[in-house]
Amino acid sequence: MNPLEEWYDYERVIIQALTVVMSLFFAGIALNELSVANPLTDFVYTYYLDPISGESTGDSGYNMVNTMTYGVVLAMFAIALSGWLRHLGIDPSDKTLLALLPFVLWAAFGEVVEDAEMFGEFFSAWFVSPGVHFQTAGWVIIAGWAGYAISSSDSDDEKKKENVKSVSTLIIFSQFILYGVSIGVSFGEANYFGIPPMLLFSGFALIVPWLLESSAEAFDSVQRTVYFSGVGGCVVLFGALATFLATDHYAAGKDLSDLNLWPVAVVVGVPVLLCMWMLEQGREAAGKLADLDIVAGVLPPGMNEDEYLASESKEKDLIESLRLKATMAYPVAFLPVAGQLLDGLATFIGIDFFGYHEKHIVSARVIELFDTAATFALLKFAIGGIIFWFYSMANFEYRQQHLRLLIGLALMVVGMAPGLRDVGRLMLGV
């Protein structure tokens, strides 16, 4: 058997555990639909479904049970998914993380649209955490599957690129229809086309795959499809926010000068500058290793960590001498670090300057310690430092590269997505 197709024991256990968890969850829902009173249904609705429903109509927040569950299940999904991606032969390099980045912004835009109460009843609940993350994953899977099918076809490279653009446009158009109709009904319009700003931006979104073609040259078919679909989807949802500005915002007697733009400059600008600085600091070291086809922290095929630590060679000496610097240039390291900082800054500014409140249980308790969200910002900055330290020290086996990637994705999402949502709310005042 190909070593890349072998399952780790822990992957099998995690997949089995996830199967049990999801079976119990859906069993609780099914029993409720059958009007069968039971403790499982009470547990599922009390700690998971009712809080989501409550947040879609207000801001019910989290409880300790669902907070812990979401964290554990997220980690389990990362481990299980890494095995499946390895079996499918998906590119485990940092390019995949960059291709997924637009969908982090997509989730944040969707949550802000929901905060502005623009969606109809059905989609409103699906743009509340954690439902928004499952929905995001659904679109990523659709785009990834389409890209994978194109990649596996017998078409030549140019034909594959054209097919990717066409399929990406279809996915973007699907979002245009689904969310536009929901927003149109919510706004009292007969259909989507009664909302000119969203129509305009969505029309522009349909040509995104052609406009961004040159920026995706380094991507394969799977990455291109995900990247184009994510950016186009962001433009569609940004059109919804433009509609909000053109209707509710101005109906309240506000204009562009009433937008809170300085939080965006700080919350987004500082992490971007941090990414640029880290990339510049590590570019040379990462380049030297890349010339030798080496990624710091990824072991050669067939070698485990114990064997690597016990080995002695000039190549190992070179890797260890450049590891710290090189890690700074890896998106799998600097994007999660920036995401944590972004979340900390957004929470600090939102609470201490605009009077918002923290709904996450653990975060709220950290803020209460010193009666200021500055403590949370410092904690998130420290967490970012720990993430960088982890990636600068960790050694992943060659067939664990997808796990390396998904750990970085999870750490990036849990920081960047809520931070972007918070700053979007701050800007619009919703």
| Tokens coding 383 | 């967490």
What's the rounded mean pLDDT across residues 35-40?
93
Domain-ending residue, one of 258, 275, 298: 258
At residue 218, the 3 state secondary structure works out as coil
Task: Give tens-digit pLDDT for 133-183.
Answer: 889 999 999 999 999 999 999 999 999 999 999 999 999 999 999 998 888
For residues 208 and 77, the answer to whether their CB atoms sit within 8 Å is: no
Band of pLDDT at residue 188, cut at 50, 70 and 90: low
Same domain, residue pair 385 and 315: yes
Same domain, residue pair 234 and 292: no
Band of pLDDT at residue 309, cut at 50, 70 and 90: very high
What's the rounded mean pLDDT across residues 27-38?
94
125 compared with 110, residue with greater pLDDT: 110
Of 179, 185, 199, 206, the C-alpha closest to 243 is 199
* CA 326 to mean position of chain CA atoms: 24
Instruction: Determine the pLDDT at residue 192.
Output: 45
Please, what is the average pLDDT of the chain? 90
| Tokens coding 205 | 């979104």
Band of pLDDT at residue 194, cut at 50, 70 and 90: very low
For 118, 120, 182, 235, the CA distances from 188, given in Å and listed in that order, are 11, 10, 10, 22
Same domain, residue pair 217 and 228: yes
Flag the least confident range among 86-95, 266-275, 367-376. 367-376
State how far the Cα of 132 lies from the Cα of 177, in Å rounded to an integer.
18
106 compared with 2, residue with greater pLDDT: 106
Same domain, residue pair 184 and 273: no
Total domain count, the chain: 3
Same domain, residue pair 401 and 266: yes
With a cut of 70, say whether residue 1 has pLDDT above it.
Answer: no
What's the rounded mean pLDDT across residues 326-350?
96
Same domain, residue pair 75 and 95: no
Instruction: Determine the pLDDT at residue 50.
Output: 84
With a cut of 90, say whether residue 96 has pLDDT above it.
Answer: yes
Same domain, residue pair 26 and 169: no
Domain that holds residue 9: 1-88
Same domain, residue pair 319 and 423: yes
With a cut of 50, say whether residue 298 has pLDDT above it.
Answer: yes
State how far the Cα of 99 lies from the Cα of 117, in Å rounded to an integer.
29
User: How big is the CA angle at 141 (ends 122 and 114), to the nearest 5 degrees?
Assistant: 30
Same domain, residue pair 116 and 229: yes
For 23, 36, 132, 239, the CA distances from 30, given in Å and listed in that order, are 10, 9, 22, 37
With a cut of 70, say whether residue 256 has pLDDT above it.
Answer: no
Band of pLDDT at residue 250, cut at 50, 70 and 90: low
Q: Any bridge partners for residue 396, and if so which?
A: 298
Same domain, residue pair 392 and 318: yes
Same domain, residue pair 277 and 424: yes
Band of pLDDT at residue 187, cut at 50, 70 and 90: low
What's the rounded mean pLDDT across residues 322-333?
97
182 compared with 296, residue with greater pLDDT: 296
**DSSP conformation class of 127:** T
With a cut of 60, say whether residue 2 has pLDDT above it.
Answer: no
What's the rounded mean pLDDT across residues 291-308?
95
Band of pLDDT at residue 3, cut at 50, 70 and 90: low
Domain-ending residue, one of 71, 88, 105: 88
Instruction: Determine the pLDDT at residue 362.
Output: 76
Tell me if the pTM is above 0.85. yes
Instruction: Determine the pLDDT at residue 248.
Output: 64
Domain-ending residue, one of 26, 59, 88: 88
State how far the Cα of 27 lies from the Cα of 293, in Å rounded to an integer.
49
Q: Any bridge partners for residue 298, and if so which?
A: 396
Task: Give tens-digit pLDDT for 42-69.
Answer: 999 998 888 877 655 444 557 888 888 9
What's the rounded mean pLDDT across residues 404-426?
94
Instruction: Determine the pLDDT at residue 395.
Output: 96
Task: Give the type of residue at 105.
Answer: L
Q: Is the peptide bond before 102 cis (omega within 30 degrees of 0)?
A: no
Flag the least confident range among 12-26, 81-95, 249-263, 357-371. 249-263
Same domain, residue pair 50 and 32: yes
